[in-house]
Amino acid sequence: MSSETSEKKSATSSRRRAKVSLFAQGEPMIWLTGGGLAVALCMIIGLLLLIFYNGISTLWPMPVPQIQTVSGTVYLGEVTRDESFRSNDEPVRTLHRRLMRTGNFEISGEHFNWINKHEVKEETLPQWALVIERTAWGRFYGFPESFVLGGETVASTSETVWKAFNQYHDAVSDRRGKIRELETHEIGRINRRLENARLALRTVELRSGLGSPAWNVEHTKFLETEKGVTEKFKKLQEEIVQLRTENSRYVLKLRTAQGKDTAILLENIVRAYPANQLSIVGKVGLYFERWHEFLLDDPREANSEGGVFPAIFGTVIMTLLMSLAVVPFGVMAALYLREYAKPGLVVSAVRISINNLAGVPSIVFGVFGLGFFCYLFGASIDELFFASSLPNPTFGKGGILWASLTLALLTLPVVIVATEEALSAVPNSMREGSYACGGSKWQTIKRIVLPRAMPGIMTGMILAMARGAGEVAPLMLVGAVKLAPELPLDGVAPFIHAERSFMHLGFHIYDLGFQSQNSEAAKPMVFTTTLLLIVLIFLLNLMAVRLRTRLRSKFVSAAF
Amino acid sequence: MGSMNVLFPPKNKSNRLAEIAAGKTFSTETHDVLTREEALLEVSGFNLSYGVKQALFDINMIFPKGKVAALVGPSGCGKSTLLRSINRINDLLSTVRINGEMKLNGEPIYAPSVDVIELRKRMGMVFQKPNPFPMSIYENVIYSLRIDGERNKAVLDEVCEKSLRGAALWDEAKDRLRESALGLSGGQQQRLCIARAIAAEPEVLLMDEPCSALDPIATNKIEDLIADLRGDYTIVIVTHNMQQAARVSDYTAFMYLGRLIEYGPTSTIFQNPHLQETQDYVTGRFG
């Protein structure tokens, strides 16, 4: 009897112990894992919100206050930042100050000024404070004085000057666009013709020698071309000078807040607006106009103003080229590893090496790409096919092709690992079904295994694209540049210029934020560009995800 | 079941299954009827091992032409292994070692000169779980012709219809030939697999527990289908289900631990087997 009670007792006590132990119930693990997820989500969402908020607010037109301090200095500009700081000199320790973008760099020598809040004597929003975005020297803040047309003052009150400005500015902008078009495209074209003729001559010189009959023939041709080109060049030059002269007739005279007079050629003004007069509709219009410029125009002012179109274009093209290179190679390698290779020590070693490859710092890939692709491979191509233009390298330097291949190498492990997973997830019964029908190994792979694994392979591609599009460090070595004069894809034969260096949004962010002379002005653009890069990667991924969904519904959704 | 034991008292009282488990050699009890049949497939002295583990021991049997032969036995007795050895699908496993002979129509299956792919084209196989390919019903059926490079649409259409009719799926599938095969029900998928297996007009149809993943109605349909196919094809079917073996097959082979114990006409095996061990198994006393 006593043994029975003691048994009962021990049973109850062990049950009680189980109740006491929190981990036995599993409740803490739910909180722990859920908490981990919550922390991760908070950080990601916080980062995205920060980028999103700063990114979309950058281009919004701000009011332009005029501030007079107790010491008598007057500032006119846009407030970019408010902050509190600690000072040791003042009786009150915690003080507030504002960072004001005052522009007018050619006059004041400064883009920004700090203004302490307690030193402000008067703050107004002058009606005719103009913000002027220029092609050079940054922004200008001032008041319209008069409008001069061909040396004659045609308007001298604020309203009439503003009216005259709006009347003539569009035409002047058009002419400026025309000049740019002539300078870059037309002159570019005739330069290319001259260069081609020179290269042809040089080719003959390399083949037949200087002064040989063939060379003489080619030389006459070259001289002819040169003559034609020079004539054409002169004509273009005249046209440009004519347009310039016409444009220089329009001058806007302004007075700064400090009372200094200055004149700005209308030609140098990208955009001007009376910031304090803008209605909400006007502000929204201006906002979208700036986005339009940002997305579709070339950058100006050392990239801190203007658009980022070449960078968007370069990023997209490079990412696509990279995917094109990495997916076939990755899939082939994974196919061999999973379908053909005999499992064993060697295969395991190869697999571990591939996984470790993903941990190599990306800059190392950049160095490898520079050494192997540019200096070894590219230089050999130059010697074989582009000997006439040496010592100027064609492929023997960084370019979009080499950058894509370097990133393809970088993202190869991702694709191989994902493809291997996808291949091993294909049920063996399907392979056997194909073999039983008399399919060979390759037929089975081609018709059954690969289609079935395709969604998984696409996942690998998506991961590779996300990784590759955001990578910057190796690109600095193999072809991304601060400013690329020409896009890697254009209307000039052979249309795809894989050897050209390119602009990249990731590199653009680095360049804006840390390499810019006027980094305070560029800082908001860093956020906008980051936002753009994220949106771009998101869109590229969305494309791939949709493709994957289509494939998956076609191949995988088994009803059984 | 116990009453059956009384009705048909076993002829051989000694139980040698424990001896087999201990590794003793065992000679198969093959009924005389089989020697009068015309053999399409012949297995002689066949041994197979996965690495160090031997799965089949000295199998000697024939599969009569145009008849249905069922392989029964407890799990792990090697019946599936034997079936999968016939079309050499076991070759895909690198650890398999084989010793012995198999002949299809008198031609060796395991000779080095044999083209395995050509050999498999002469046999159709249906698996335990329906394994339709991730493509349309039409493409599934004509898969074996596609990999042979047949492009003539008239031929393909004809084969597709004939095979689907042969697998009793035509009426259900004829309006949705271009739809994915993965949308079919389990039973339909299995019949599709049978259609796929008979599309190349094989000499032998190998079925590895074709109904084990199906509901009773679908099972019924497959069994009816096997009855229809009998005569046109030589069928080897592996099954766990004694009733099924009794219903569909002409001959039944009982296997145990890699040995063929008894092989004879189905009616005899189920009602009046020569060996006590077979009697015990088919009456459900073990296994």
Which residue in chain A is spatially nearest to B201 when comparing CA positions?
A437
Residue B143 and residue A437: Cα distance in Å, rounded? 7
Please compute the mean of the pLDDT values over residues A316-332 and round it to a whole number.
91
User: A434 vs B133: CB contact, 8 Å cut-off?
Assistant: yes
User: A437 vs B200: CB contact, 8 Å cut-off?
Assistant: yes
Q: What angle do CA B81, B85, B87 make, to 5 degrees?
A: 135
Please tell me the least confidently modeled range out of A58-67, A186-195, A286-295.
Answer: A186-195
Question: What pLDDT does residue A14 have?
Answer: 53
For A:231-260, CB contacts with B below 8 A are none
Residue A206: pLDDT above 60? yes
Other CB atoms within a 10 A radius of the CB of residue B127 amount to 23
- pLDDT band at B212; cut points 50, 70, 90: confident
- pLDDT band at B6; cut points 50, 70, 90: very low
Residue B8 and residue B10: Cα distance in Å, rounded? 6
Q: Quick one: which of A366, A337, A550, A329 has its CA closest to A468? A: A366
CB distance from A1 to chain B under 8 Å? no
User: A435 vs B123: CB contact, 8 Å cut-off?
Assistant: no
User: A438 vs B125: CB contact, 8 Å cut-off?
Assistant: no
- pLDDT band at A50; cut points 50, 70, 90: very high
Residue A424 and residue A457: Cα distance in Å, rounded? 12
- pLDDT band at B287; cut points 50, 70, 90: low
CB distance from A438 to chain B under 8 Å? yes
Residue B13 and residue A415: Cα distance in Å, rounded? 65
Number of H helices, E strands in chain B: 13, 11
CB distance from B120 to chain A under 8 Å? yes
CA distance B213 to chain A (A): 10
Bridge partner residues of B206 (DSSP): B125, B236
User: A435 vs B118: CB contact, 8 Å cut-off?
Assistant: no
- pLDDT band at B280; cut points 50, 70, 90: confident
Compare CB distances from A452 to B134, B196, B206 and report the shortest one's residue.
B134
Please tell me the least confidently modeled range out of A11-15, A468-472, B50-54.
Answer: A11-15
Beta strands in A150-189 (DSSP E): 152-155
Which residue in chain A is spatially nearest to B214 when comparing CA positions?
A560
Structure-token pair, residue B133: 């390919």
Compare CB distances from B87 to A430, A436, A451 and report the shortest one's residue.
A436
CB distance from B183 to chain A under 8 Å? yes
Inter-residue long-range contacts of A274-279, CB under 8 Å, 24+ positions, other chains counted: A274/A127, A274/A128, A274/A129, A274/A130, A274/A131, A274/A162, A275/A61, A275/A62, A275/A63, A275/A64, A275/A78, A275/A129, A275/A130, A275/A131, A276/A63, A276/A64, A276/A125, A276/A126, A276/A127, A276/A129, A277/A127, A277/A128, A278/A61
CB distance from A552 to chain B under 8 Å? no
Compare CB distances from B147 to A432, A443, A554 and report the shortest one's residue.
A443
Q: Quick one: which of A101, A97, A59 has its CA closest to A77? A: A101
Residue A73 and residue B184: Cα distance in Å, rounded? 83
CA distance B61 to chain A (A): 22
Q: What angle do CA A241, A247, A253 make, to 5 degrees?
A: 140
pLDDT by residue (tens digit) across A95-144? Answer: 888 888 888 888 888 888 888 888 888 888 888 888 998 888 888 898 98
Which residue in chain A is spatially nearest to B131 when comparing CA positions?
A430
CB pairs under 8 A between A and B: 87
How much helix, strand and coil, in percent to the nearest 5, is found in chain B?
40, 25, 35
Percent of chain A topping pLDDT 70: 93
User: A558 vs B197: CB contact, 8 Å cut-off?
Assistant: no
* Residues in chain B within 8 Å Cβ distance of A554: 134, 180
